[in-house]
Chain A
């Protein structure tokens, strides 16, 4: 019998047209274009004509040999790690407090909003704000340190490599721990309440519940936070660029800032910038896959494998 009525599926397609068109024009096409020009001689302002190099991987070789690129990768890894460890720790701690069944944190909503707030402000504003805060020879941080007698005279923070890295990492941490916390709380709320109840009845204390129930159940969410944060971290650009423009002495130059400099700081090396961004893309892919494999639920995988083996034998219909 022919099913009469409206086919709602077509509305799905119709409503997704604007996104698909925008995506193809503004995301997919530029991405593919980037892949292509990484193998070409396209450099210089206002040029659009290009040809594939006789050695297509020449740009990649140059970028591999580029000392500044290696420094920028190292910086990115260091700054991201410096930001992620405190970020996930604090986010988990806050999640535990906000979701515990032992006590109720008063004015939770207000706290969550306040903690999330830094994420709403534009990163550019915060970077410039911190640049002023750590100003030298005059700046609030220096004023406080001198007034309390912790240092004899103002410190030139903008020349200290580790301070600069630390500030960038701190901004990143401070902007994103609220976001991670919200995601983790959502994850905890998704856990079956009966599990917690059972644990409580069995006499488990809060710490045990957190480490034995919450955390293992939260693994996929933590993995999600880890991977999105890593992708975001590897693309870190606006904060280091605007805080000290990659300085001092390349201490906060991230790989994205390096790519930007290749393309737009004077020589318009579009081809090398593309090659560098493809390398960063590969790094992101490799790391994401590695993390994914590392963090996946081993028991579940084993279970699935057994199921498949059973199916092959025709045991399960």
Chain B
């Protein structure tokens, strides 16, 4: 009995060792068998590939997909390793999120990226034909050469409550609300005061306004290799303090429980609006509105209007590996995702929510051409066509004020702003401490 057991165990061990050998052999064989390695942090792009194969039956490449979530910063180190290691299993196509895309298109990891032109894509003609939002091109360009493009457009709007607008101003017309909350922050705070008098908070917390301020500042955190605090961003210190003192917000933190609660009126005061792109509506607010059809919770009581300042927030860029052995095939896939503005291009399906059949989630896409022929009517927005607002919003957005350190620097900045706004330190001290943190942790010149 015991002896049998020993034999079984050793057989299992040998088998498992041999298996990994076979697996290794298979991977190498597969390189000749037309495989495209795809790296992503969500299943969005891998799902698109199923549709692509369905549309192109004679496309005989297999997709070998690796999905690693961005949680805990796991995606970037793994991707960096895979790119640096190279070989048959190196990524051919990889995705990068707005928070770190600059690292892969212009920063420390840009040398891995292949110019779209080298993939056989007629970039200039296609860009014009598809009418791609300029900021996505800015972000995806390495010294004027296009290496990455997004399929989404993440230009932001102001998403507000119809019932509150009616209560305060007697109308919920988007054009009217646009003229109330903007243009410019001065008008926005006048509106905030009017709302506050009726007991409403104009936004949930200072984080909401930060995305708009960050996105609208002319300069990013780094100018000429030195830390630079743009006056627009410096103003955020006083804006945050003022909003807190005057009670214009519920003093929540974005992505905190209280922030989500404000989307269904569960906060201290009812909140008038949120700043955000189309994805915030579909992927965050709809699920947190306390309902799933008009009349339930706040579902259907929302509308979008132009924000006081233009900004964008988030998005996914698709990049090809310069060392990929299957560049032609990769080019076809990338062109379909990012530059095909026809009715069978990815973006048309994505905009109309028809990628997996009718009735899916609608979203704004990078191609203006596609947006013009798509329908963005949403029940969540009381039947408003959100594209009417989001298409022009994309044009205001700029990618020139981003740096690859944004995620880290923003967190230091927001921390100091909270300390100042709550009266825990002076403005000078807050700025000095912020600079100290950047210098100590990132070794940047201050």
Seen from chain A, the residues whose Cβ lies within 8 Å of a Cβ on chain B are: 43-46, 48, 66-69, 132, 135-139, 156, 158-159, 245, 247-250, 258, 261-262, 264-269, 272
Contacts and interface: CB of A to CB of B under 8 A. Distances in A.
Given A46-B80, A159-B422, A272 B443 contact: yes
B247 to A, nearest CB: 11
Contacts of A138: 257-258, 261, 266-267
Interface in B370-421: 404-405, 407-409, 411, 415-416, 418-419
A46 B441 CA distance: 19
A46 B251 contact: no
Interface in B57-104: 73, 77, 80, 83-84, 103
Given A135-B257, A266-B404, A67 B443 contact: no
**Nearest 6 CB-CB pairs, A to B?**
A68-B440, A45-B108, A138-B258, A266-B405, A266-B408, A267-B442
A248 B408 contact: no
Given A66-B440, A266-B441, A267-B444, 14 more contacts: A46-B84, A46-B108, A67-B440, A68-B436, A68-B440, A136-B251, A138-B257, A138-B266, A248-B418, A250-B437, A265-B408, A266-B442, A267-B442, A272-B443
B442 A67 contact: no
Interface string B251-273: 11100111001000011100000
B105 interface: no
A249 B433 CA distance: 8
Interface of B: 73, 77, 80, 83-84, 103, 108-109, 250-253, 256-258, 261, 266-268, 404-405, 407-409, 411, 415-416, 418-419, 422, 424-425, 433, 436-437, 440-444
Contacts of A69: 440
Contacts of A45: 80, 103, 108-109
B252 A264 contact: no
A62 to B, nearest CB: 8
Nearest to A268: B108
A44 B108 CA distance: 7
A137 B442 contact: no
Taking each of B73, B425, B443, which has the highest tally of chain A beta carbons within 10 Å of its own beta carbon? B443
Contacts of A135: 256-258
A247 B415 contact: yes
A68 B419 CA distance: 17
5 contacts: A45-B109, A66-B440, A159-B422, A249-B424, A265-B442
A262 B439 CA distance: 11
Contacts of B84: 46, 48
A248 B83 CA distance: 36
A97 B436 CA distance: 50
Contact of B411 (A46, A245, A258, A272): A245
Contact of A137 (B77, B268, B433, B437): B268
A267 B438 CA distance: 10
B415 A249 contact: yes
B433 A267 contact: no
B441 A262 contact: yes
A46 B440 contact: no
Contacts of A48: 84
B176 to A, nearest CB: 31
A245 B425 CA distance: 20
A33 to B, nearest CB: 15
A45 B82 CA distance: 12
Contact of B424 (A43, A137, A159, A258): A159
Contacts of B424: 159, 249
A237 to B, nearest CB: 12
A35 B418 CA distance: 39
A137 B266 CA distance: 11
Contacts of A250: 437
A159 B416 CA distance: 10
B142 to A, nearest CB: 15
A248 B268 CA distance: 24
Contacts of B267: 137-138
B220 to A, nearest CB: 13
A249 B419 contact: yes
A148 to B, nearest CB: 18
A67 B436 contact: yes
A136 B441 CA distance: 28
A156 B251 contact: yes
A137 B251 CA distance: 7
A59 to B, nearest CB: 11
Contacts of B443: 43, 267, 269, 272
A267 to B, nearest CB: 4
Taking each of B73, B419, B437, which has the highest tally of chain A beta carbons within 10 Å of its own beta carbon? B437
